[in-house]
Chains A and B, each alone.
Chain A
């Protein structure tokens, strides 16, 4: 075995272990903050796997979008609403667990089926494009994938407008959560007095 292949094998093993153990930690850990940080680690390792597949642009985009934007926002949200509250015990926890386990197992079997039926081997190693992949991705985004690309941007715009409507109550005449008329004059005014019930 040549040195390059050995290095690749070691990297692949380490990255896969990090992905699997990290993902398990995201699901199983009690502390939500640890889960969020581990999620970042999982995203990073997936980027590493892309790098091993010679897809450096996809790897960098994965880091930029998933680690730099999605994960940072998740952590941000957790830290802004860092309320220490005990979770209420759920009554029918057992049946819920059975249902979620069966759904997960179905998804897993689907993935295993895809893995077994798909033909993974490339016809020839010369087909890998490596550094040229950036150009190819650009060509595809502006030709045959143009419609999905634009539709995705519309979807993001819709999500953004929704977030603004939810955050800025003054654009609606009625409060969305309580149904009371909104005071249009002072946006930052709290719905209940701040200082009276402080004891």
Chain B
């Protein structure tokens, strides 16, 4: 299954042409994909913020941002610049060190998780063996940052918000991990690339969403809860807690929270599309198109085409999910904290456990459909 563009190999060969050793070429190569993904994440956030403003305006029959650029596309950049030049305030009675470390601890694991997001066969930073498990482990660090900033702010609303955020993400991590486990059971691998390849057999028909409909819904609900999006935004419920753990934050530290929550949303959408919607796969397999056009699959033209289709499909699926998340945010009311915990522990957890059990049984009964 080793096909597609291998940019790293070509880049290293290109540098070796200048007489550099392979180790130095590797070191020059290493930061490039990381920077690229970081830039992609930030641009993704800008696009999502713009979408959020426009879609919320449409949902409320307003116009939304209009004057900054065509259709207000420059509005998120203006927002970002404003946050960048704002005064950085640490409240007098706050704990300075923890107050600063909190937002960093929230943002860093989210960005690290982009390590495993594939945009194509070789278009990811690192195809680590533990793949999707790395994301689950990293996302469990976030509550510490939230508790930290909630405690350090020396404000009761912040503390309550931090506690709520931690309770929420601990509760929803379990059904999330169980629904991922059902996918891993079908794939026999934790690697995200293997998970996508396992779905690439027959285009749209072989996507995991048909084999794991319950898992898909459970995962999506849990991902929304992990991102603290409405209807699950209790940690920052405006009417009750001012802004939760963000209350005392301003300037760039607030921007880190803001950035973190939107990067997390895009990441969750990307992972849903990787786990359930075939990742970079086109609804019709590219091999079929190539055969139809009588072109060999290894032709350079077909490879570039496959790679660009892969990126476009991944981003398209992810933004479709982001669109649904934004629509949900502006059309659904917030759940109460007891409803939230009831939903997590008494509904999603048993359902995802049953889903795992049924998947295991189906895998034994129909190994050709559910991964042998």
**How many Å lie between the Cα of A140 and that of B147 in the bound state?**
37
Those of B4-55 within 8 Å (CB) of chain A: 23, 27
**How many Å lie between the Cα of A44 and that of B138 in the bound state?**
11
Residues of A within 8 A of B170 (CB): 68-69, 72
**How many Å lie between the Cα of A96 and that of B98 in the bound state?**
33
Given A57, A60, A68, which contacts B143 in the complex, CB threshold below 8 Å?
Answer: A68
Those of B160-210 within 8 Å (CB) of chain A: 162-163, 166-167, 170, 173, 190
Residues of A within 8 A of B326 (CB): none
Given A33, A63, A132, which contacts B137 in the complex, CB threshold below 8 Å?
Answer: A63
Given A2, A40, A56, A61, which contacts B128 in the complex, CB threshold below 8 Å?
Answer: A56
Task: Flag if A63 contacts B163 (CB, 8 Å).
Answer: no
**How many Å lie between the Cα of A2 and that of B23 in the bound state?**
9
Asked if A131 is at the interface (CB within 8 A of a chain B CB), the reply is yes
Q: How many A-B contacts are there with CB distance less than 8 Å?
A: 73
Task: Flag if B130 contacts A67 (CB, 8 Å).
Answer: no
Given A40, A60, A79, A130, which contacts B151 in the complex, CB threshold below 8 Å?
Answer: A79
Those of A148-162 within 8 Å (CB) of chain B: none
Residues of A within 8 A of B151 (CB): 33, 75, 79
**Closest chain B residue to A130 by CB distance?**
B129
Residues of A within 8 A of B159 (CB): 79
B86 to chain A, nearest CB (A): 27
**How many Å lie between the Cα of A3 and that of B98 in the bound state?**
35
Sort chain A's interface into a size bin.
20 to 34
Interface string of A148-187 (1 = CB under 8 A from B): 0000000000000000000000000000000000000000
Asked if B136 is at the interface (CB within 8 A of a chain A CB), the reply is yes
A43 to chain B, nearest CB (A): 10
**How many Å lie between the Cα of A44 and that of B129 in the bound state?**
20
**How many Å lie between the Cα of A44 and that of B166 in the bound state?**
18
Given the known inter-chain contacts A56-B128, A60-B130, please indicate yes or no for A80 contacting B140, CB distance below 8 A: no
Asked if B104 is at the interface (CB within 8 A of a chain A CB), the reply is no
Task: Flag if B147 contacts A75 (CB, 8 Å).
Answer: yes
Task: Flag if B163 contacts A3 (CB, 8 Å).
Answer: no
Residues of A within 8 A of B173 (CB): 68
Asked if B250 is at the interface (CB within 8 A of a chain A CB), the reply is no
Given B23, B136, B144, which contacts A3 in the complex, CB threshold below 8 Å?
Answer: B23
Residues of A within 8 A of B128 (CB): 56, 131
15 extra interchain contacts, Cβ-Cβ under 8 A, other than A72-B140, A72-B170? Answer: A37-B144, A37-B148, A56-B129, A56-B134, A57-B130, A60-B130, A60-B137, A63-B137, A67-B140, A68-B143, A72-B144, A75-B148, A75-B151, A76-B166, A131-B129
B: which residues have CB within 8 A of A? Answer: 23, 27, 98, 128-130, 133-134, 136-138, 140-141, 143-144, 147-148, 150-151, 159, 162-163, 166-167, 170, 173, 190
A: which residues have CB within 8 A of B? Answer: 2-4, 33, 37, 40, 44, 56-57, 60-61, 63-64, 67-69, 71-72, 75-76, 79-80, 130-132, 134
